[in-house]
Amino acid sequence: MLTGLEVLLGEKLDLLAGRRVGVLCHPASVDSHLVHIVDALAAAKVKLTRLLGPEHGIRGEAQDMIGVGGERDGRSGVPVVSLYGDGVESLAPSPEALADVDVLVVDLQDVGSRYYTFIWTMALCMQSAARAGISVVVLDRPNPIGGTAIEGGEVRPWAESFVGLGSIPIRHGLTIGEVARLVAAGIPWGGERFAQPLACDLQVVAMRGWRRGDTFAATSLPWVLPSPNMPTPDTALVYPGLCLIEGTNVSEGRGTTRPFEIIGAPFIDGYRLAEHLVADRLPGVGFRPLTFRPTFHKFAGQVCGGAQIHVLDRAAFRPYLTGVAILRALFVLGGEAFRWRTERYEFVSDRPAIDLLTGGDEVRRGIEAGKSLDELVATWSEAEVAFVERRRGILLY
């Protein structure tokens, strides 16, 4: 198959001819031969005037929620603007950052989850480009966890944040090009910031040969880490559920070799956790008790009890359902030692992080009230059905 980048390079460079070009990219913005977009466009004599970097930076060296400064790209010498600094104002490009740009090319490998901030960086860039009268060209890439399954509910307006600036499900089943089309059309489902159509001159360069049901393995493309804790497509598959652990004081496995696949804390008994989760009879997944010692992040240097999530049937597996079940088990087994994260999270400090991640307080309050897993599912299941219809007109594949 061909990514949008390869289609652009092979057939559509006229979109950039004679224009000053800005590029929003990261380490995974490569072709099938691992040539980075900046190098490829420079070799094609495209006039690069600005590079924009999302969370983790253009080269991907920064950890999560770490501000990145602006500089010049060491290889190309093109000025770099960071779109993930120390304050919320850094998340969108300023008029000055786009002053020498005629067209903004977006090439980002997404992972198919609302929490993953790259889609919101793109959306904010589209908004800024529309105000400045700048064209946007989005180079499409595969959704590595497939484009059929949808999981999760809406985002309440009061719960909007950089892990959900618009109301789409946690596992949305869209490619990044389709997300761009949804943003341009207006996200017609809760939320406020992107509820109305965006007057953006948008063109999506579609892939060739990708089908909705394809996982990343079906593409035969090389996987490049789009962020430091997304080392494999397997990580991407569990991420829509296991990122929820960020909203607690339990380790989500950062500081191990299997982030988001390993979770735990010093106050958790891994055997009891695994037994509790096996009893939930979750589809397509198994749980192995273990102990681990993170090298950084939560509980660095401490022995943690917990479990490793093993996906046994990718088609049946439901990561968000699994993540909520794990939250429920941790709340019960962690006792007084367990708590929801209240520290600043993605520039927000006045709401629990778990509410920002789930899009409201229904899941948290339901867990606290001891509700069953079926009762928790009922808080988001209708929204999933509604999104199937609402996304239909923007699908490309």
Which pLDDT tens digit goes with each residue over 168-183? 999 999 999 999 999 9
Helix axes 118-132, 176-185, angle to 10 degrees: 50
What is the C-alpha separation between 98 and 66, in angstroms, rounded?
23
Residues 6+ apart with CB under 8 A from 99: none
CA distances from 67 to 90, 92, 333, 355 (A): 9, 14, 35, 23
**Predicted structure pTM score:** 0.95
Characterise 173 by phi-psi region: left (phi > 0), alpha (psi -120 to 50), beta (else): left
Domain ranges of the chain: 4-228+389-394, 233-360
| Helix and strand numbers, DSSP H then E, in the chain | 11, 10
pLDDT tens-digit profile of 332-354?
Answer: 999 999 999 999 999 999 999 99
Q: Which residues are paired to 287 by β-bridges? A: 309
Q: Which fold has domain 233-360?
A: Aspartate Aminotransferase, domain 1 (3.90.1150)
What is the C-alpha separation between 201 and 135, in angstroms, rounded?
5
- Tell me which DSSP letter residue 116 carries: S
- To which residue do tokens 């790209």 refer? 73
What is the C-alpha separation between 58 and 82, in angstroms, rounded?
8
pLDDT tens-digit profile of 26-52?
Answer: 999 999 999 999 999 999 999 999 999
Q: Which residues are paired to 25 by β-bridges? A: 107
- To which residue do tokens 């409201």 refer? 360
Half-sphere exposure (CA, 13 Å, Cβ side) for 75? 12
The confidence score (pLDDT) of residue 86 equals 84
CB 308 within 8 A of CB 261: yes
Assigned token pair, 383: 């929204």
What is the C-alpha separation between 276 and 339, in angstroms, rounded?
19
CA 213 to chain centre: 19
What is the C-alpha separation between 3 and 275, in angstroms, rounded?
43
Q: Among the CATH numbers 3.40.50.12170, 3.75.10.10, 3.20.20.70, 2.60.40.10, which is that of 4-228+389-394?
A: 3.40.50.12170
Q: Is 137 helix (H, G, I), strand (E, B) or coil?
A: strand
The confidence score (pLDDT) of residue 75 equals 74
- To which residue do tokens 């497509």 refer? 233
Q: Is 158 helix (H, G, I), strand (E, B) or coil?
A: helix
Instruction: Tell me which residues of the chain have a pLDDT lower than 70.
Output: 59-70, 74, 190-191
What is the C-alpha separation between 140 and 5, in angstroms, rounded?
7
Q: Is 233-360 the same fold as 4-228+389-394?
A: no
Q: Which residues are paired to 151 by β-bridges? A: 171
Candidates 318, 239, 246, 249; CA nearest to 282 is 318
What is the C-alpha separation between 297 and 60, in angstroms, rounded?
17
Measured CA angle at 243 (ends 240, 245), to 5 deg: 135
Residues 6+ apart with CB under 8 A from 189: 154, 167, 168, 383, 386, 387, 390
**To the nearest whole percent, how much of the chain has pLDDT over 90?**
91
The confidence score (pLDDT) of residue 63 equals 47
Measured CA angle at 233 (ends 230, 239), to 5 deg: 60
